[in-house]
Copies of this chain bind each other. A is one copy, B any other.
Amino acid sequence: MPVITFSPMENELRKDYFLDRRVIIAVGRGKRPSDFKRDPAPEEDGKTCFFCPGNEEMTPAEISRVEEDGHWVIRVFPNKYPAVTTEEEEGSDELMPAYGYHEIVVENPAHSKSVSDLSIERISHVLSVYNERVEHMLSDPRVRYALVFKNHGRKAGASLSHTHTQIISTPVVPRLVKEEAEAVERYKTLNGSCPLCDAWKKEVGGPRKVWEDYHMAVFTPYASRSPMEAWIVPKRHVHDLGDLSDEERHSMASAFKLLLEKLRDGLNDPPYNLYFHVNPRGADLHLHVELLPRLSNWAGFELGSEIIINTMAPEDAAEFYRPE
């Protein structure tokens, strides 16, 4: 079979579904998914892992845990080196304390197991735990947003290899989330509909579709910022993880497992970041998850322009991710 890419022009400038954010799909420098296959990760050194069972006293005081057969399987505690602070000093818009909470969710006790190795049921449970913590943080009126994100692999910023997710709350709505919420309003005024509802409906019928079931749509976004970027979007117009039914959460967990297994098996487990965009208070942002494998290096052009050069067409990435 010939390789079909859906990029008729050599260097396309594509605009995001609703943000004023652009990428250059530079397939002339073109990469295929297999070009990103990495060497297997080196063996771990024998350092003590703070996140392993038996070392619980090495983390700050536990916030919550989920147990099975008398042992924890999911564990939540504050980050030992928080990026935010709960001191309540006064501030101005130019300078305020970075007020908030910074927590760690360890999704599984086994040191070398990644989220891709967990059962769909466990991943679904993990999603509930994320939501509990987000809701708890947002119950503090000084908190304006809570970002759930995962850094997987050293190149993606993970300083400890035992898989974990972080949640940081902020006293302002973050720039990107604010921009999304504002762009949603503009889009609604113009089109009378939600841009993410429109996006998934369009994408599940096209070359960037990865997977769908009754509840969830998975696709590689039209203006992907990195090779192998993928989004998980609930089909129902929901705002938060807490709005998901058990079935929808199970379906989102299946989507996670599909994407992360493909990366693990097809590309030897490359570094990635992923994050949840939940709705900021008072806005109408459609909940979604963005997965960004760290397979390229943003340099002076990206930093200075905030236009991203991506050397792989998302249509090729979708082909890679699609279940057989």
Partner of A13, one of B87, B97, B150, B277: B97
Distance in Å: Cβ of A233 to nearest Cβ of chain B: 15
| A44 at the B interface (CB under 8 A) | no
Partner of A300, one of B14, B178, B273: B273
B97 touches A12 (CB 8 A): yes
Distance in Å: Cβ of A175 to nearest Cβ of chain B: 4
For this chain, the copies found in one complex come to: 2
| A214 at the B interface (CB under 8 A) | no
Residues of chain B with a CB closer than 8 A to A89's CB: 9
How many residues of A sit at the interface, in one of the four size bands?
A: 35 or more
B303 touches A96 (CB 8 A): no
Partner of A149, one of B84, B95, B304: B304
Given A14-B95, A15-B93, A156-B299, is A306 in contact with B85 using a C-beta cutoff of 8 Å?
Answer: no
Given A298-B157, A301-B83, A301-B147, is A14 in contact with B174 using a C-beta cutoff of 8 Å?
Answer: no
| A305 at the B interface (CB under 8 A) | yes
Stretch at the interface among A22-30, A57-65, A69-77, A188-196: A22-30
| A307 at the B interface (CB under 8 A) | yes
Query: Which 9 residue pairs of A and B lie closest in terms of their CB atoms, listed nearest first?
Result: A157-B299, A275-B304, A149-B300, A174-B305, A273-B300, A175-B306, A176-B306, A11-B98, A13-B98
